[in-house]
Amino acid sequence: MRLVDAGRHALFDGMLEPLRERYDHSELRRVEQCLAIYLHEQPANLPDLRQQPKFPYFPGIPSRTYYPRERFPELEVLEAGAAAIRGELRAVLE
């Protein structure tokens, strides 16, 4: 397990290094925290215990039970195509 853990650290460090060179530490703070939580280096401190994300959990993103519909303008297009989507699903299931 130590080998796997060390490999994960090396993998994430290698992936983040170009970003660390490009961006300020404050801009990557939540990403670094997310990885530290994933690697069990710090607790998640979940603001809402009803939500139990496994990976990735980014601290600092508001946890809300429902988001206002206005935040998802693409819903209109999806809803407009609901009948066609339902027809495709029924054809596949038959």
Q: Kindly state the average pLDDT of the residues 65-81.
A: 90
pLDDT at 90: 96
* Polymer length of the chain: 94
Q: Which of 26, 6, 15 is nearest to 56 (CA)?
A: 15
Q: What is the total count of domains within the chain?
A: 1
pTM, 2 dp: 0.57
Residue 50, H or E segment? none
Return the residue matching tokens 């297009």: 77
Sign of the dihedral defined by the CA atoms of residues 38, 13, 26, 42, in that order:
positive
Where in the sequence is the domain holding 33, given as residue range(s)?
2-93
Residue 44, H or E segment? none
pLDDT in tens, 16-38: 899 999 998 888 888 899 888 88
